[in-house]
Amino acid sequence: MSTDDLTQAVSERYARAAATGEQMCCPTGYDFADLRRFVPDEVLKISYGCGTPAGLNSVQPGETVLDIGSGGGIDCFEASRRVGPTGRVIGLDMTDQMLAIARRNAPLVAANLGYSASNVEFRKGMAETMPVEDGAIDLIISNCVINLAPDKRKVFREMHRVLRPGGRFTISDIVADQTVPQYLIHDREKWGNCLSGALPVCDYVGGLVEAGFLGVHQVKFVPWQVIDGVHFLSVTLTGYKLPQTDGRTDVRFATLRGPFSRAVDELGQVYQRGVPQAVSARTAQLLNAPPFDRLFLLSEAPVPLTQPDPRLIAILPAQAPCVWAGHFALFTGPFLEVCDDDQHRYYRGQPLEICSKTLAVLGHEAYAGRFTVINRAQNPVGGAEASCAPGGSCC
């Protein structure tokens, strides 16, 4: 199918849903009891997505929020409540029927919130060519929409353009653990179901970094569907458009605390756990971003860390045989690559088969939220105990 055909197919599918109330098959996490206090039922019954954008938890009064693929307006109206009457919300959608519903309900929501006028504006447009001014947005949210766009890298570039320096995004979307085969890509119905357009995790995150975002990391994930061996996942990602630095900073050294034994950040800086590394002002700025909290010790002078210093974190595997049960780990943290204490090297978004010992290591709270684990075994596995390497260490 051509790009125009794909866009038309998706638009027709969502127009039909708006008219009929058809339920789209994406996993959502809305608190409808809370939203019903100020959002009309006409909006709630056509609210689709693959997760409530967690980024709204970080919104400050007076900020400007952009919702890509705003549909009937549910996320815009929640953003309106959070930014307050001094804030501003822009909803972007390409479907006339959805825009009509959202615009019709905007004054009702404003009245329910006690605002003198609505602070939400709905604009018609494509995610690849957003009708939004440069550097106008503090936070971008999107709920299971970008995977519907034929040219996702162009969407990512547009996101970077409209965000102000210091802005951030939090988007929920459907991704895959591997490349989606052509017979699914060209299935018109599955495009509307958020399947055919799903990128592999590594390509999705890589496209965001290529567009200029840094500190890109997973906030949460939910397994969704497995079709012909392809695992589709609902993930929520956050990343930042860091402002330009003037080169002045109190941070001159960074010491990786762990739990990783080695890490490479998105600027190419390599860190070994416990070893102070001289860093540039730009790198110091990156490491001050939220996803690196507690991973580094930042200082003016070099500070090495050795055992038994409690600031050093190492999660060692059990020294015993392991079992292979079909588990694969996808690293989704804010680094290009990392190593654990079981001699694994993980490249962001690329599945790596792991044994039971490594599964236990990654289940430790120090690794929480940094990996997505799937199981590719189609039937129960009754594997015998095995020794991955002499001495019981893995790989």
**What pLDDT does residue 388 have?**
62
pLDDT digits (tens, 9 = 90+) for 83-130: 999 999 999 999 999 999 999 999 999 999 999 999 999 999 999 999
Kindly tell me if the per-residue pLDDT of 378 is higher than 90.
no
**What pLDDT does residue 392 have?**
42
Phi, psi of 369 (to 5 degrees): 80, 0
- Banded pLDDT at 15 (limits 50, 70, 90): very low
pLDDT digits (tens, 9 = 90+) for 147-194: 889 899 999 999 999 999 999 999 999 999 999 998 888 777 665 566
Kindly tell me if the per-residue pLDDT of 24 is higher than 90.
no
Name the more confident of 1 and 300: 300
Phi, psi of 151 (to 5 degrees): -115, 85
Right CATH for 245-314 from 3.40.5, 1.20.81, 3.30.450, 3.30.70:
3.40.5
Name the more confident of 296 and 191: 296
Kindly tell me if the per-residue pLDDT of 212 is higher than 70.
yes
Q: CA-to-CA distance for 49 and 148, rounded, in angstroms?
A: 12
Kindly tell me if the per-residue pLDDT of 395 is higher than 50.
no
**What pLDDT does residue 346 have?**
98
Of 125-139, 254-268, 306-320, the poorest mean pLDDT is in: 306-320
**What pLDDT does residue 19 have?**
47
**What pLDDT does residue 20 have?**
46
Kindly tell me if the per-residue pLDDT of 296 is higher than 50.
yes
**What pLDDT does residue 320 have?**
86
**What pLDDT does residue 383 have?**
65
Kindly tell me if the per-residue pLDDT of 3 is higher than 70.
no
- Banded pLDDT at 293 (limits 50, 70, 90): confident
Domain 3-240 carries which CATH code?
3.40.50.150
- Banded pLDDT at 390 (limits 50, 70, 90): very low
Q: What is the mean pLDDT of residues 280-307?
A: 95
Query: Please, what is the average pLDDT of the chain?
Result: 88
Strand order in the sheet with 270-272: 270-272, 262-264, 337-339, 345-347
pLDDT digits (tens, 9 = 90+) for 299-352: 999 999 999 999 999 999 998 888 999 999 999 999 999 999 988 999 999 999
Domain spans in the chain, listed from the N-terminal domain onward: 3-240, 245-314, 316-378
Domain 316-378 carries which CATH code?
3.40.5.100
Do 245-314 and 316-378 have matching folds? Answer: yes
**What pLDDT does residue 197 have?**
82
